[in-house]
Structure 1
Amino acid sequence: MRAARLFEYHKPLRIVDADYPKIKRPDHVIVRIRGAGVCHTDLHVVEGVWRVSLPLTLGHENTGVVEEVGEGVEGFKRNDPVVVHPVMTCGVCRACRAGEDMYCENLEFVGMGRDGGFAEFMLTSVRSLIRADGLDLVEVAPLADAGLTAIRAVKKAAPGLYPGSFTAVIGVGGLGHIAIQLLKQMTTTNIIAVDIVESKLRLAEQLGSEYVVNARDDPVKEVMAITGGRGVNVALDFVGTQTTHETCLRILRKGGKFIVVGYGGVINLRSADMIANELTIEGSLVGNYIELQDLVELTRLGKLKVITNRYGLDQVNEVLDKLKTGELIGRAVLTP
């Protein structure tokens, strides 16, 4: 089968003829990939930020149809359309029993720890499958990571939001544009979208953001003016640079929460300032199976739409370059 694999860090992926996956456990499932989203994490893998074992087929944001099932699989059969959660979990450790799938003690992450979906076929487990009947499998592929990450971050933000509150969404990219829609569905907060690209700010307005701020100007000054000098209740950083981290800390009001999703910077905050202002800093990583099911249902109800750009598998390196330079609006999806 054709697959886009990474053989060396800092080198382009190579399209090769890879081995067809094999079912080795009763709960294993082989999925014929229909859509594979391209994520900044894929860039970080190429750059060696995540030191994975090479060679590796990337791609952790996948949809497709069931091709084969292990002898213990029930509820799914050949040709069933599915969204594939990026982690394979054991289901029996304490974290799994608590529904915290990302904390599984025996977690396997496709596209990072094992071969992912930049290929014609991919191996996963039945626990990772969410039915996607009637949905465009290319359009919903980003739900498996971008959507998951956004909904988990928004759920962390929601308890501190109320009518008249303010939430800053830093970065209106693949995750940010989904987060804006989820904030509109799940909260009554006023949204301030912050980005350096005018077309992305226009998209934020179309999706319901009450305010937009171009970060090329003075985002701290503008956000403070919008909030009457008080600052935001929650800052969601989907970019993760030193600059965006610092911006988030400077725009928080007393008792505010900084939710860190994008990574790449270092958070510098004096403990005295954190205590005096009762600030909360919280990381957010992907999401669990139930959150993915919620995303699929919101999409089915027409309450959520992912902006997608479709590319062939042969264009994977072109897409990674576009992602690196910030050219993409929404999410890129490969169609192996």
Structure 2
Amino acid sequence: MRAVRVVEYHQNMEMHDVPEPEISGPLDVIVRIGAAGVCRTDLHVIEEQWREKSGVTLPYTIGHENAGWVHAVGAAVTNVTVGDKVICHPLITCGLCGPCRDGQDCHCEEQTFPGIGADGGYAEYLLTSARSCVKLDDSLEPADVAALADAGLTAYHVVAKAAAKLRAGDTCVMIGAGGLGHIGIQCLKALSPARLVVIDRNPEALQLAEEIGADMTVVADSSQVDKVLELTGGAGAEVVIDFVGEGGSTSQGLAMTKRNGEYHVVGYGEDIVIPTIDLVSSERNIIGNLVGTYNDLKELMALTAQGKVTLHTQKYSLDDFQKAIDDLVAGRVRGRAILVP
């Protein structure tokens, strides 16, 4: 089968012909890829940022946002059958460890992460597990939802946590209205009555934010903190969700957060620096967010089937993988880039 491989770090990937994956365990599932999302984390993999954490050996196939059709199943698989449309939770989990039994399978102690630490979905077929497969509603197609497997899942995961804090009359600020942010906006409006203020430096992203539910938008510049404080009577927002996590957004995001509020960081790239006395005296909470649970993905698929979340995409053929990567690097992608074999 064709597969896009990382051959060397800091170099363009290459298309190779590799063997198709095979069933070896009773809960194995092989998915014929209908679409694979192109994520900024894929850029970080190529840039070697994940090398130490993943321990992966090159060459290998990346791609951790995957959807398609079940192609083959192991002897013990009962939740999906050959031909089913599925979206794949990005992790392969054990189901037996403490976090899995506690419903926090995104922190599985025995997890495998296809596309990060094992072969992923920039290919024609993917090896995953029964525990990772969420069947799609008849109204949904793999190419329309693939990036929800990670970008959407991460956005839903943080928004669901934030929604538990937010009440009617509260304010939530989202920093970044791009690939994750545009999904987060829709999820928040579906889950919470709070006022939503979206910050981005790109006018087109802000226009999209307004079209899909943002109550107010603010241009990201040196005055953005003052504008948020003005909108909140000087107090700041009950919740700030930072999908950027670099370029000064962390200090600005904390400055927008109300006393006893929550600052959720999703994007990464810089350090969070705050004097401990400021953190203690204000009781602000800094919360990290990574991926989401299997149940989060099921709930997100339900919202998507109801038409409450729509993924905005730019589609590329698998052969055009380098153009998709280049467009993402150059900021030419609105929403999410999708590879379709």
Instruction: Please confirm whether the aligned pair reaches a TM-score higher than 0.5, indicating the same fold.
Output: yes
Q: Distance in 2 between matches of 1:158 and 1:77?
A: 35
**Shift of residue 324 of structure 1?**
2.1
Matched, 1:50 2:50: yes
Letter in 1 for 2:154: T
Report the alpha carbon displacement of residue 75 of structure 1 after superposing the two structures with TM: 2.8
What residue in structure 2 maps to residue 304 of structure 1? 309
State the distance in 2 between where 1:116 and 1:156 align. Answer: 28
**Following superposition of structure 1 onto structure 2, how do residues 89-128 of structure 1 map, counting pairs within 5 Å?**
89-128=93-132
Output the amino acid matched with 2:197: I
CA contact 1:240–1:260 (8 Å) conserved in 2: yes
Q: Distance in 2 between matches of 1:327 and 1:279?
A: 36
Aligned to 1:216: 221
| Superposition TM-score, scaled by structure 2 size | 0.96
Whole-Å separation in 2 of the counterparts to 1:196 and 1:307: 19
Match of 1:207 in 2: 212
Q: Is the 8 A contact 1:157 1:234 kept in 2?
A: yes
In the alignment, what sits opposite 2:192? Answer: 187
Which secondary structure state, in structure 1, belongs to the residue aligned with residue 338 of structure 2?
A: strand
Amino acid paired to 1:170: I
Question: Where do residues 288-299 of structure 1 align in structure 2 (5 Å cutoff)?
Answer: 288-299=293-304
Distance 1:191 1:306 in 2: 19
Task: For residue 327 of structure 1, report the CA deviation from its aligned partner.
Answer: 2.1
Paired residue secondary structure (1:332): strand
In structure 2, what is the Cα distance between the partners aligned to 1:249 and 1:13?
38
Conserved? CA contact 1:63–1:141, under 8 Å: yes
Between the aligned partners of 2:311 and 2:322, the Cα distance in structure 1 is 22
- What pairs up with 1:144-159 in 2 under 5 angstroms? 144-159=149-164
Is 44-53 or 315-324 further displaced after alignment?
315-324
**Structure 1 unaligned regions, length at least 5:** none
> What's the TM-score, normalizing by structure 1?
0.98
Question: What is the percent sequence identity of the aligned residues?
Answer: 45
Q: Which amino acid aligns with 2:73?
A: V
Instruction: Report runs of 4+ in structure 1 exceeding 4 Å deviation.
Output: none
Deviation at 1:323, TM superposition (A): 1.6
Residue identity matched to 1:22: E
CA RMSD of aligned residues (A): 1.0
8 Å contact kept, 2:137–2:305: no
Partners of 2:57 and 2:196 lie apart in 1 by: 41
Alignment of 1:260-299 (within 5 A): 260-299=265-304
Unaligned runs of 5+ in 2: none
SS in 2 for 1:272: helix
Q: Structure 2: how far apart are the matches of 1:36 and 1:239?
A: 22
Cα offset, 1:160, TM superposition: 1.9
Counterpart position of 1:140: 145
Give the match's secondary structure for 2:143: coil
The whole-number CA distance in structure 1 between the counterparts of 2:285 and 2:81 is 45
Where does residue 91 of structure 2 map in the other structure? Answer: 87
Mapped to 1, the partners of 2:80 and 2:260 lie a distance apart of: 47
Which amino acid is the alignment partner of residue 236 of structure 1? I
User: In the aligned structure 1, how far is the partner of 2:121 from the partner of 2:327?
Assistant: 19
For 2:79 and 2:109, locate their aligned partners in 1 and report how far apart those are by CA, in whole Å.
25
* Aligned-partner residue type, residue 89 of structure 2: H
Q: How many residues align?
A: 336
Please give the residue correspondences for 1:305-320 in structure 2 after superposition, counting only pairs within 5 Å.
305-320=310-325
Q: Does 1:230 align with 2:235?
A: yes
Q: Map Cα deviations across residues 228-285 of structure 1 (whole Å, 9 max, x no partner).
A: 2111111111111041111101111111111010011100010000011111000011
The CA deviation at 1:217 is 4.9
Aligned pairs (5 A) from 1:16-95: 16-51=16-51, 52-95=56-99
Distance in 2, matches of 1:254 and 1:75, equals: 46
CA contact (8 A) 1:56 1:112 kept: no
Shift of 1:289: 0.5
Q: CA deviation at 1:92?
A: 0.8
